[in-house]
A and B are shown apart, each in its own frame.
Chain A
Amino acid sequence: AQSVTQPDIHITVSEGASLELRCNYSYGATPYLFWYVQSPGQGLQLLLKYFSGDTLVQGIKGFEAEFKRSQSSFNLRKPSVHWSDAAEYFCAVGLTGGGNKLTFGTGTQLKVEL
């Protein structure tokens, strides 16, 4: 069965510093991968997605992620974090067929220090 691991439950960075959030997946076929962000009391918003092609994908709000098949990873990065980036971030792997269900990681809570 597919699974997603986000090893960091909490991360704190200073505003202006770079950010990398880790995501590892387990899936037998070629995955399609997502990063979502959730602000407090809100629903989930899509940051970026990978389906195929270029392994470095660009998303909204200056985020990017790199798909590394050899490492089964899809890490999220941002060169310079803003205070408004404080939120919870979820990585997800999508199945092909069977309702295209998503399996989510447990999330990483990002705190930004001013």
Chain B
Amino acid sequence: NAGVTQTPKFRVLKTGQSMTLLCAQDMNHEYMYWYRQDPGMGLRLIHYSVGEGTTAKGEVPDGYNVSRLKKQNFLLGLESAAPSQTSVYFCASKLDQSYNEQFFGPGTRLTVL
């Protein structure tokens, strides 16, 4: 049981390039989330999904897109990367709508030059 995994762990992009971050969970969780973490700002929610085929915007969605084609995977896309998107990205998953915790992945450190 690997829990929540994220690919890649590190990435450097040039401004304007695109990329996709992959989050996978093997716990059969319904809910999945993408956060970004910046110094002094805690974690901020980018997008989330409450089930396969669904997505919704979080607090800071601009410049990102997501897809949840399979229940176990949640993809975060950057179509045209900007230096302001330099951050550490965390994926999390949660069993369902009841009161339970979110489980976090190890993070992806992204630098946009």
Mark A residues whose CB is within 8 Å of B. 4, 9, 32, 34, 36, 41-46, 49, 51, 90, 94, 97, 99-102, 104-107
Supply 7 further A-B pairs (C-beta < 8 A) apart from A44-B92, A100-B97, A105-B42.
Answer: A36-B104, A43-B4, A45-B104, A90-B43, A100-B31, A104-B42, A106-B40
In the complex, the answer to whether A101 meets B106 with C-beta atoms within 8 Å is no
List, in ascending order, chain A residues with CB within 8 A of B2's CB.
none
Which of B41, B50, B101: most chain A Cβ within 10 A?
A: B101
B-side contacts of A42, CB under 8 Å? 106-107
Partner of B45, one of A9, A45, A101, A107: A101
Name the CB-closest residue of A to B97: A100
A51 with B99, Cβ < 8 A, contacts A43-B104, A107-B42 known: yes
Taking a contact as CB atoms under 8 Å apart, the answer to whether B101 and A34 are in contact is yes
Q: For residue B98, which residue of chain A has the nearest CB?
A: A100
Query: Is B58 interfacial (CB 8 A cutoff)?
Result: yes
In this complex, the interface size class of chain B, counting residues with CB under 8 Å from chain A, is 20 to 34
A12, chain B: closest CB distance, angstroms? 18
Residues from 57 to 106 in B contacting A, C-beta threshold 8 Å: 58, 90, 92, 94, 97, 99, 101-106
B43 neighbours in A (Cβ, 8 Å):
44, 90, 102, 104
Q: Across the A-B interface, give the 4 residue pairs with the lowest CB-CB distance, nearest first.
A: A104-B42, A43-B104, A44-B104, A106-B42
User: Which B residues are in CB contact (< 8 Å) with A32?
Assistant: 99
20 A-B contacts (beta carbon < 8 Å)? A9-B40, A32-B99, A34-B101, A36-B104, A42-B106, A42-B107, A43-B104, A43-B105, A43-B106, A45-B104, A46-B101, A49-B101, A97-B97, A99-B48, A99-B56, A100-B97, A102-B43, A102-B45, A105-B42, A107-B42
Q: Please tell me if the beta carbons of B90 and A44 are within 8 angstroms of each other in the complex.
A: yes
